[in-house]
Amino acid sequence: MKYEKLAKDIIENVGGKENVNSLTHCVTRLRFKLKDESKANTEVLKNMDGVVTVIKSGGQYQVVIGNHVPDVYKDVVIIGGFGATSEEGEQPEEKMSAFNKFIDIISGVFTPVLGVLCATGMIKGFNALFITLKWLSPTSGTYAILNAIGDSLFYFFPIFLGYTSAKKFKGSEFIGMAIGACLVYPTLSTLTAGKPLYTLFASTMIESPIFVTFLGIPVILMTYSSSVIPIILATYVGVKIEKWFRKIIPDVVKTFLVPFCTLLIIVPLTLIVIGPIATWAGKLLGSATASIYALSPIIAGLLLGAFWQVFVIFGLHWGLVPILINNLAVLKYDPVLALMFGASFAQTGVVLAILLKTKNTKLKSLCIPAFISGIFGVTEPAIYGVTLPRKKPFIISCIGAGIGGAILGAMGSKLYMFGGMGIFGIPSYIGPAGMDTGFYGAIISIIVSFLLGFLIMFFAGFKDEQPSEGKKEEKREGALVKQETVVSPLRGEVKNLSEIQDEAFSKGLLGKGIAIVPKEGKVVAPVDGVITTFFPTGHAIGITSNSGAEILVHIGMDTVELEGKYFYPKAKQGDTIKAGQVLLEFDMEGIQKEGYSLISPIVVTNSESYQDVIRTNKNNIDYNEELLTVMI
């Protein structure tokens, strides 16, 4: 497995697999639901090679990886055994606010289908582009087949959402799919032919002709293809019904009687009650968003464009995804999320300016992949790796995105399909009339957003981080990296900090580092520096290196209780020391006879000040051999 070590480290630092309720991933993030977020070592994960940052939002613990997150996800699933955990309903639910629960449900339902939804939308978008450019004829077989691929998922969306909704609500996925299939069953649409039996809610906005009944109960027939809200609500109620039947039906006949009874109740209930009410709610939501947009498209574009990346950082954009998909189903277009199109291009323009201006080779190495992924709409590497940590570039990207959004609003740009991101999103702005003002507005918007981000950043400047003198440097993966070597203060067997019983060390709360089970009762200085703390009990030594690394050498666990017995200091607090100098001797046999563990952590207590602390790969180590590498 390519990312085996990274996967193990991630699992360890989210609190172990026993702390994981569920795991999914999106374009750039591993999305954990943890039983107890306090058990996760957030700072350790943030400073880990291969992790961009950690975001806690919407009831999820999100570990941002980058574009290769699917490969990391596979290794995490294999190592953690998460794929085998199907009875998620038996696990304790995490308490969340109503808003966080809403965001969690939306992300859980839509995340699994976003990839294929974008793919089919792109195909449909490019098909529209080919027709506009007269490369294809609407009557050709090529057009028909490409259109079938592009329309397939969205037309049968209730079936797909039936699966993901049932999985999210912890029910049978295939019952969810069956509910969705009933909603788009072709024969139902033919029942509206001829004269209606009678009309319900006559002379109101929800006037409904009745063509068929179910056991004498009127059925309001709706068009559910491409719909979103009806299937999610129907599946939610269906899972409740399914769980009730599972409790009362004997195990020997559960396999077929549970779905039999569930479908007999939920499908008619959906067609008679849930479906119509959800459809009306969807139409109301579509009209409301269109009305708000119509008040001032320019201001709406300015605000949504400027704050879109902020929404993404906190996971709040998930709250707008159902509005987009609902509008596509109800209005056949979406004017709302269309306004954020310039955001990724503004971010990419800022990154390009930094790439051209910086003299810091490490920053350049971050900018290159961030720029490439940003062109295709994936901006997390740019946000978390380049602009957000430096604040000013991120603000400039928001300004560019806001101006781009205002242009989109002013020119009436609309999304006509859920398509790709970045440059692949351009065909999504081609409507039934072809390349209209809205389409050209989208083109102008991304160009202006990109140029504004680039030019403002290029001329405004930023605080460039220069390599400082007097520190050891090396080339690593093409970047110039400063480092300090910490040699071993002990001779013995090397262990991970996670193997220590004391949680302060095992969870990395005191810093990143390593542990050693000593084979000799002697401690030597791990670096050149000063002894800043020598505990009176002799069991622990705090050292500050000449380069500023703060190192703690702690002999044994709970050995402070020995009150100095068996410890014999050979130096004192305030001494200037050289690497390899003897600092302490201790009686291993005496300590063990008293019942204390000798496992000894060596940690860099100011780890957060450094890019990383890399441990040795050796299983056994001697004095003065390289133990830790502090990346400055």
- Tell me the C-alpha to C-alpha distance, in Å, between residue 573 and each of 148, 534, 544: 77, 5, 11
155: pLDDT strictly greater than 90 = no
Lowest mean pLDDT among 119-123, 215-219, 255-259, 441-445: 119-123
Using one digit for the tens of pLDDT, what is the confidence trace for 212-235?
A: 999 999 999 888 887 888 899 999
The pLDDT of residue 548 is: 83
Cα angle, residue 458 at apex, residues 454 and 460 outer, rounded to 5°? 115
State residue 131's pLDDT score.
86
pLDDT tens sequence across 350-373: 999 999 988 887 788 778 888 887
Are 249 and 257 contacting, i.e. CB atoms less than 8 angstroms apart? yes
d(CA 41, CA 11): 10
Of the ranges 66-70, 270-274, 479-483, which one carries the lowest mean pLDDT score? 479-483
Is the predicted pLDDT of residue 506 greater than 70, yes or no? yes
Average pLDDT of the chain?
84
Q: What is the pLDDT of residue 285?
A: 73
Q: What is the pLDDT of residues 297-321, one digit of tens each?
A: 999 999 989 988 887 766 566 667 7
Residue of higher predicted confidence among 202 and 84: 202
Locate the DSSP E strands across 488-528.
492-495, 512-518, 522-524
97 pLDDT more than 80: no
- Provide the β-strand partners of residue 219: 212
Return the amino acid letter for 208: S
pLDDT of residue 471: 42
CATH superfamily of 4-95: Glucose permease domain IIB (3.30.1360.60)
CB atoms within 10 A of CB 250: 7
577 — pLDDT class (breaks 50, 70, 90): very high
Question: Exposed, middle or buried, 257 (CB in 10 Å: 0-12/13-18/19+)?
Answer: middle
Residue numbers annotated as active site: 26, 554
Give yes or no on whether 4-95 and 476-631 have one common fold: no
- What is the arithmetic mean of pLDDT over 462-487? 54
pLDDT at 91: 42
Asked if residue 77 lies in contact with residue 10, where contact means CB atoms within 8 angstroms, the answer is no
Binned at pLDDT 50, 70 and 90, residue 205 comes out as: confident
- What are the residue boundaries of the structural domains of the chain, listed by start? 4-95, 156-293, 296-460, 476-631
The model's pTM is 0.54
Q: Which fold has domain 476-631?
A: Glucose Permease (Domain IIA) (2.70.70)
